[in-house]
Amino acid sequence: MKVILFGNDRQQEFLNQIEAFIDDIRRRGIECGIEQSFYDYLAVSLPNFPLPAAIDCRQSVTADLAISLGGDGTFISTVMRLLDRQIPILGVNTGHLGYLTACHIGMAGLVLDEFVAGQCRIEERTMLQVDSDEATIKHRYALNEVAILRKDTSSTIEMETSLRSMPLTTYHADGLVISTPTGSTAYNLSAGGPIMSPTTSCIVLTPVSPHSLTMRPLVVGDDAQVTVKTTSRTDFYQVSVDGEGTTCPSGSTIIITRAPFKVLLVRREGDNFASTLRKKLNWGI
């Protein structure tokens, strides 16, 4: 069995636990590698600790499991490095909310044992793909959302929106969030959109501060092609793909569709949608 560790460069208070976890992996006889940028950070932070080999994910990569050490941002970064390689990802929380993670760093060894024993389940999560003939989108895939936002103006932007080439409406708003079920608890939730079970086959369109009160969040099937032509009083607007922004010219069009692959998330058998909401959103009693 082979695992690859991913992480961020904000792990100072968890370095001892990361050391212990890597030692745990070795004691189990599991082959381990560390993604190159995380390896570079650990090499400086743990100069006397023998690290596993660095892995360049820009090359062909195979593994049985990817382990993301951090919060939700690190998990998304791990997804973007792997994309369509179909390697299951286990999120280990050393961040804040950790909605996408399965456990805290202190339980990582236990959950790894559960995975090896076949006691974890794999959830498939939908991603979005962003295309445009008129703008160069830096990041084309989103696990959480694609957000169209105003830029350099306090005025609303105009977003002429179609579903499967059929006109839907023109949103006059600060922006429009097109979210996956996984991302429904992220920007979509802050904008007033619905929470969706993460394995459902749908996406949601949620306007941000719409000019008209009749403009409400809309849930559609994930086979929908969402086409949005955006006009701004300035020369540009912003397209944010899981927080990675691209400046696009006013009047250009972007097309959002379901990506041709899914992300594989490792979940513990005791975890479920209801318990996650109770724990992460403080709904518990």
Catalytic positions, written as ranges: 72
Cα torsion 54, 58, 9, 136 to 10°: value is 170
Q: State the Cα–Cα distance between residues 175 and 239, nearest whole angstrom.
A: 10
Q: State the Cα–Cα distance between residues 9 and 26, nearest whole angstrom.
A: 23
Q: Are strands 120-131 and 157-163 parallel, antiparallel or unpaired?
A: unpaired
Torsions phi, psi for 129 (to 5 deg): -120, 135
Q: State the Cα–Cα distance between residues 178 and 174, nearest whole angstrom.
A: 14
**Amino acid in the structure at residue 122:** I
Q: DSSP character for 183?
A: G
Residues 6+ apart with CB under 8 A from 46: 15, 18, 19
Residues 6+ apart with CB under 8 A from 22: 5, 32, 49, 51, 52
**Nearest partner of 146 among 126, 164, 165, judged by Cα:** 126
